[in-house]
Amino acid sequence: MISFDSLPASLSDGRATTRRRALLEVGGCSLLGLSWPGMLAAEKSNPTTDAAGFGQAKSCVLIFLWGGPSQQDTWDMKPDAPSSLRSEFQPIATRVPGINIGEHLPHMAGVTNLLTIVRSMTHRDFEHGSAAYAALTGHAHPLPGTNTPVRPEDFPTYGALVSRLGHNPNPVPDSIILGPVMHQGNRP
């Protein structure tokens, strides 16, 4: 159960804010079909208190591989599947019993107890760009299948929300984006 007991804080101009962890939890839930109003209603109908020590995370790293290696060569090897489906590489053990990953990720295998692997995500959009929009914002693209250029009315990414609403006193940025920006996919 996600708890929003410690909401809200406020900015100097009076706008309400919330904690980074709550935003990331709600954002993650939106990928599962849950929304902020739905989460608040669920919380109100079933209040709970957090266990001691919960909520101690200080950071979250989202690695979004635009055109990265295939999942069957990295996180979901399928060694028992037919040869047409399984990876040509060998699985290796990780620090988490029962989880194997691709042989080319030995350092990642040593820290699997510190990460979450999302093996599959489905959507109804056939375009990579607008599907990535859903993965990075938690909202379906307003114009599915189109890959339109970025617009002012687009939803912000998780990193943008963390940067805007976070209260990081450290000189390290709240959010960093490396690599290419969203583009038109295979279109000219």
pLDDT along the chain (188 residues), means of 10: 40 48 50 48 52 60 74 86 89 93 94 84 76 84 80 83 78 72 49
Does 93 reside within a domain? yes
Helix axes 36-45, 20-31, angle to 10 degrees: 110
Query: What is the pLDDT at residue 185?
Result: 47
Does 11 reside within a domain? yes
- Same domain, residue pair 1 and 46: yes
Q: How many independent structural domains does the chain possess?
A: 2
User: Which amino acid belongs to residue 114?
Assistant: L
Does 13 reside within a domain? yes
Quick check: helix, strand or coil at residue 108?
Answer: helix
pTM: predicted TM-score of the whole model, two decimal places = 0.47
Structure letter (DSSP) for residue 155: P
Query: What is the pLDDT at residue 181?
Result: 60
What is the residue range of 88's domain?
Answer: 71-114
Query: What is the pLDDT at residue 109?
Result: 94
